[in-house]
């Protein structure tokens, strides 16, 4: 394995761990690491992926600002240059937001070209997010104001890389057209692939089918929620009536987000044993399967 691949693998693992509990602000609720990968992807596309240090800095660019790490820690892990690029793209979070924004633009032209390239790619990803999955409550006016700030920052960062600056301008123009209604929303990059598949993680429904057709004892819904909560952080429980095997059954239905089908099936197998069910039903994307107790071996 080449040194470049090893470096990028280490940087991605480091960033994923540092940002493990963070998500993007929009309704898609993407894992934050998706943004970091997209920033790297933008730089790789523009530059031909010839500078592994630059791509590693893209993956790590928010670790100081958002994760409480120090420049010294990054320097020890990834060397002087990568730590410098990350530090030069980190705001002083003790300052008011308006002052941070003004300072960011004021000092941008003085930064080395590699640091400005990381920032341009970061802003490209952020502009795409405003078009595809903006923070809740952002009005059209606020989105356009944000786009204007992005363009000002992009202007201050000019003189780095022709193709990267072309991608910046193309993105800004596309996002403006989307926000003003002049064009349909067609965001590119990771956001496009994410939205084409699903907004956020898929919602799964798990049915406690009451295969013995007995009244639920007190606290049964709480036990059901607790059992699922051990594997998935949030769950909604609903009571319902199911009809199968020619009989009406009181059932419990759990709704929760999950990105790993294997984990959901494993949960269903455990629920079969915990609640003495012949099977547990799983529904996702309009499809339904039964997981039987004897599947647990």
Asked if 167 contacts 64 with a C-beta cutoff of 8 angstroms, the reply is no
**DSSP annotation of 23:** B
d(CA 87, CA 178): 33
Helix axes 113-132 and 52-60, enclosed angle (nearest 10): 50
Helix axes 80-88 and 52-60, enclosed angle (nearest 10): 50
Asked if 58 contacts 39 with a C-beta cutoff of 8 angstroms, the reply is yes
Is 191 exposed, middle or buried, given 0-12, 13-18 or 19+ CB atoms closer than 10 A?
buried
Asked if 127 contacts 176 with a C-beta cutoff of 8 angstroms, the reply is no
Q: Is 18 helix (H, G, I), strand (E, B) or coil?
A: helix
Q: Which residue of the set 65, 77, 91, 192 is catalytic?
A: 65
Q: Is 173 helix (H, G, I), strand (E, B) or coil?
A: helix
d(CA 174, CA 193): 17
Q: Give pairs for 79-84: CB < 8 Å, separation 24+.
A: 79/53, 81/53, 81/57, 81/114, 82/11, 82/53, 82/56, 82/57, 84/112, 84/115
Helix axes 3-18 and 52-60, enclosed angle (nearest 10): 10
Among this protein's residues, is 239 annotated catalytic?
Answer: no
Nearest to 85, CA basis, from 107, 106, 116: 116
Among this protein's residues, is 114 annotated catalytic?
Answer: no
Q: Which residue of the set 66, 71, 192, 201 is catalytic?
A: 66
How many Å is the Cα radius of gyration of the chain? Answer: 24
Q: Is 140 helix (H, G, I), strand (E, B) or coil?
A: helix
Residues with catalytic roles? 65-66
């Amino acid at each position: 394995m080449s040194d470049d691949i090893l470096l990028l693998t280490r940087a991605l693992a480091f960033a994923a761990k540092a940002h493990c509990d963070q998500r993007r602000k929009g309704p898609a609720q993407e894992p934050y690491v998706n943004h970091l990968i997209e920033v790297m992807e933008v730089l790789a596309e523009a530059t031909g992926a010839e500078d592994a240090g630059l791509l590693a800095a893209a993956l790590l660019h928010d670790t100081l600002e958002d994760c409480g790490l120090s420049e010294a820690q990054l320097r020890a892990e990834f060397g002087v240059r990568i730590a410098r690029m990350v530090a030069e793209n980190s705001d002083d979070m003790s300052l008011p937001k308006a002052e941070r924004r003004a300072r960011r633009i004021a000092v941008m032209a003085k930064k080395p070209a590699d640091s400005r390239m990381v920032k341009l790619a970061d802003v490209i990803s952020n502009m795409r997010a405003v078009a595809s999955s903006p923070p809740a409550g952002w009005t059209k006016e606020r989105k356009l104001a944000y786009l204007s700030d992005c363009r000002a920052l992009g202007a201050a960062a000019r003189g780095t890389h022709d193709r990267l600056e072309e991608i910046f301008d193309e993105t800004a123009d596309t996002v403006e057209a989307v926000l003003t209604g002049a064009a349909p929303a067609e965001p590119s990059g990771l956001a496009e692939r994410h939205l084409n598949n699903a907004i956020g993680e898929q919602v799964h429904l798990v049915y406690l089918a009451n295969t013995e057709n007995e009244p639920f004892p007190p606290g049964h819904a709480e036990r059901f929620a607790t059992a699922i909560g051990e594997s998935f952080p949030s769950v909604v429980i609903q009571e319902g009536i199911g009809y199968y095997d020619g009989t009406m059954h009181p059932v419990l239905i759990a709704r929760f987000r999950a990105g790993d089908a294997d984990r959901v099936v494993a949960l269903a197998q455990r629920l079969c044993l915990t609640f003495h069910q012949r099977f547990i039903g799983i529904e996702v994307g309009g499809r339904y399967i039964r997981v039987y107790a004897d599947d647990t071996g």
